[in-house]
Chains A and B, each alone.
Chain A
Amino acid sequence: MSQTTAVLAQTDDEIPGIEIPALSVVDLWKRYGGTQALSGTSFQLAVGERLALLGPNGAGKTTLIRSMCGRVRPDQGEVLLSGQSIRNTGVLQQMGVIPQDLAIYQDLTARENLECFGQLHGLRSRALRERVKWALHWIGLEDRANELTRRFSGGMKRRVNIACGVLHRPRILLLDEPTVGVDPQSRQRIFDMLDELNQLGTSIVLTTHHLDEAETRSDRIIIIDHGKVVADGKLEDLISSTIGARRQVVIETEGILVAAPPGMTWDPLRNRFVCYVDDVVEELPQILERIQRVGGVVRDLEVHQPNLHNVFLHLTGKELRE
């Protein structure tokens, strides 16, 4: 056991009532040639918690995920599952990994895929049969169990993909964009499945490009950028610690303005003015008056409650897909 592991394990053992985190990412560093992919990433996942992991493209998300499932050897730092290093034999069995790609054999049936991955996770005979039966029921494909998965729709393939990673009852489930290319109904179905697992005690780490998924389907959100954690907390905490309770006001105008209205910024991409207000009722009339004073006519007006998108933009300066 490494020094870090030993210290963590010892500390948790010594303090009664403190639960060992399901997952601890401790000061991960990783460099590929001239690119620093991870720069001291650290966070924890509590038992039964649902965590959404966000970051713009190139932020180091993929390297972090691959480090967590043992597929990347970090230059420094450690990943612990229930206080044990993933480098220890058998520890990774506590984790279920659902890759972004469809990592199933499309020339096998749904049942054959489940049997294959169940066996590779050590399930045999009766236990295997029972788990395969459960999984087919869980993903709602009992009636198509013996069909080749290449004939399935995208959503059905995704469900088989997820089921193959949970057959061995992992305590932590790592899902890398599980709903990519999936229609809204299938997305709903997938999240219902994940909620069911979570209620049974499975801790979940989810990466996604759908901010609504992160907002509604997680207990906590982590945003990483340039290989380190730039925000970690519940949605409301993130909003209050970044943007605060201020509302965003977006105004589209007509006519030629002789100058920019005071206190407003111009969004050249969308041809509109943006400003933030603490009290909408009190400040909005003043804003409209300022626009009229410089010759503008208000064509449209929107007032937005702060959301994860604003937080993300505020912290990274980028849209999620950039």
Chain B
Amino acid sequence: MIFTVIQTSWRRLRNNRSELFLTFIVPVVFFSIFALIFGSRDSSSSTPKIKVAISDSANSSVSEKAIAALAEQKSLRIADRDIKSVDRAQAEDLVRRGMVSAAVVFSKPENGAIVDGRPDVEILTDSFDQMASQVLTAIVQRAVMTATAEIAMDRQAPSSGVVSASYLGEVSLGLPPQPKFQVVDVIGGKKTNPVVAMYAAGIAVMFLLFSATTASGSLLEERENSTLDRLLSSRLTMDQLLLGKWAYLTIIGAIQMTLMFTWGATVFKIDLLNHLEGFAAMTLVTSGAAASFALMLATLCKSRMQLGWVSTIVILTMSALGGSMVPRYLMSESIQKAGLWTFNAWALDGYNKVFWRELPLRELQTELAILTLSGFAFLVAARLFAVRWERT
């Protein structure tokens, strides 16, 4: 009897191509995708680099040597700016806006006098990327100490070129005084929003996509049971049907996002009230784009079952690449770039700017524009795919 049950189940699986695909192929596909996303970090060419801005108003011998040493670090990418022209405020602004992970500021001491080429050193960090700030702090400390020691050696070395044993002893004991060194968390330090705001956005966007694609399956259900025939035999056109469904999915998505963030505000202290403008703008375009994307998938598929597994693969892949599961800064450079082709990455960047960086609405222009345009493109694609259902 048990054998019969096993045999029948196996035969049913064997005769069902979709289920066979889900059972044996999809896991391998997923494994490959995730291995590609998270496993490629070992490759030295694509190891994530810390993007750093440097400001040097001290213009001292130590700062110059330290900056030269930092520029040679493979783990850093110095922002392409004229270091001399960037002041502290600008460097802080770059960190705040997320243009760089951290900034190193070399400045003159408070009394204005640089002694032995030693500037004050500040590292401006963003606790969003805690790993970057810790690594950078260690690298900068080493570069500054080495530069200080070298300058001291140059100054105290005998003119004859012969180095005495007593001199070497002084240097090795670290006798040269070190510059004043300070690490400042420019965002997290004064923040009212806990880190949970960033993760709320990641999870919310992923579930928004899942719920939108599930709801868009009603279109396929209508097609399967001839309701679509009946709908299109009335005064309703395919344009109106798709727009109606898009509007509905957008509204439901916006309510869903609002519900999640309201819950986040109540339980996890996300400061929603002071960011309503940015939240509303991001939620509207994100929900609209998710609705368009869901309709595109629904019109592309032939059945609800097909929609189920296609959407699962696509959404989980996009969520992994786009940062809904793991922050993108942990991924390799190449995967971070690939992530920009996903819907999630732009949505998360937008929410991140609103809740973490607390930037004004005008700073969201890029994210809003990309999500709006992609939403429009998805909707047009859905309309084109739906042509085959109109008249055969």
Contacts and interface: CB of A to CB of B under 8 A. Distances in A.
The judgment on whether A and B are partners is yes
Interface of A: 66, 69-73, 92-93, 95, 97, 99-105, 117, 120-122, 164-165, 168
Contact of A71 (B225, B229, B236): B229
Given A73-B391, A73-B392, A103 B235 contact: no
Contact of A103 (B229, B236, B391, B392): B229
Interface in B256-295: none
A122 B235 CA distance: 7
Contacts of A165: 230
B159 interface: no
B226 A99 contact: yes
A102 B222 CA distance: 10
Contacts of B232: 71
Interface string B222-265: 00011101111111100000000000000000000000000000
Given A100-B226, A102-B225, A103-B225, A70 B233 contact: yes
Contacts of B231: 120
A71 B227 CA distance: 12
Nearest to B240: A120
Nearest to B232: A71
The 9 closest A-B pairs by CB, nearest first: A99-B226, A120-B234, A101-B226, A103-B227, A103-B230, A103-B226, A73-B391, A97-B233, A101-B225
Nearest to A161: B230
Contacts of A102: 225
Nearest to B230: A103
Given A69-B229, A99-B230, 19 more contacts: A66-B229, A70-B233, A97-B229, A99-B227, A99-B229, A101-B227, A102-B225, A103-B226, A104-B227, A105-B227, A117-B230, A117-B234, A120-B234, A120-B236, A121-B234, A122-B235, A164-B230, A165-B230, A168-B234
Nearest to B227: A103
Nearest to A72: B392
A93 B391 contact: no
Contact of B233 (A69, A73, A100, A101): A69
11 contacts: A69-B229, A70-B391, A73-B392, A95-B233, A97-B230, A99-B227, A117-B230, A120-B236, A121-B235, A122-B235, A168-B234
A168 B231 CA distance: 13
B345 to A, nearest CB: 36
B358 to A, nearest CB: 43
Contacts of A72: 391-392
A267 B254 CA distance: 70
Contacts of B225: 101-103
A120 B222 CA distance: 15
Interface of B: 225-227, 229-236, 391-392
Contacts of A168: 234
Contacts of A101: 225-227
Nearest to B390: A71
Nearest to A174: B233
Consensus secondary structure, chain A interface? loop
Contacts of B233: 69-71, 92, 95, 97
Contacts of A93: 235
- Centre residue among B226, B229, B234, B236 by max chain A CB count within 10 A: B234
A102 B230 CA distance: 10
A69 B234 CA distance: 10
Contacts of A95: 233
A102 B226 CA distance: 8
A230 to B, nearest CB: 25
- Centre residue among B226, B230, B236, B392 by max chain A CB count within 10 A: B230
A97 B226 CA distance: 11
Nearest to B389: A71
Contacts of B391: 70-73
Contacts of A105: 227
Contacts of B229: 66, 69, 71, 97, 99, 103
Contacts of A121: 234-235
B235 A120 contact: yes
Contacts of B236: 120
Contacts of A100: 226
B65 to A, nearest CB: 73
A121 B235 CA distance: 6
B11 to A, nearest CB: 28
A118 to B, nearest CB: 9
B225 to A, nearest CB: 5
Contacts of A97: 229-230, 233
B236 to A, nearest CB: 5
B235 to A, nearest CB: 5
A73 B391 CA distance: 6
Contacts of B226: 99-101, 103
Nearest to A176: B226
- Centre residue among A66, A71, A100 by max chain B CB count within 10 A: A71
B234 to A, nearest CB: 4
A215 B226 CA distance: 28
A73 B389 CA distance: 12
A205 B213 CA distance: 38
Nearest to B225: A101
A168 B235 CA distance: 11
B19 to A, nearest CB: 24
Contacts of B392: 66, 71-73
Nearest to A73: B391
B205 to A, nearest CB: 28
Nearest to A101: B226
Nearest to A95: B233
Contacts of A120: 231, 234-236
Nearest to B241: A120
B163 to A, nearest CB: 89
B29 to A, nearest CB: 32
A73 B233 CA distance: 13
Contacts of A117: 230, 234
A273 B227 CA distance: 48
A54 B179 CA distance: 98
A98 to B, nearest CB: 8
A26 B229 CA distance: 22
B242 to A, nearest CB: 15
A70 B234 CA distance: 11
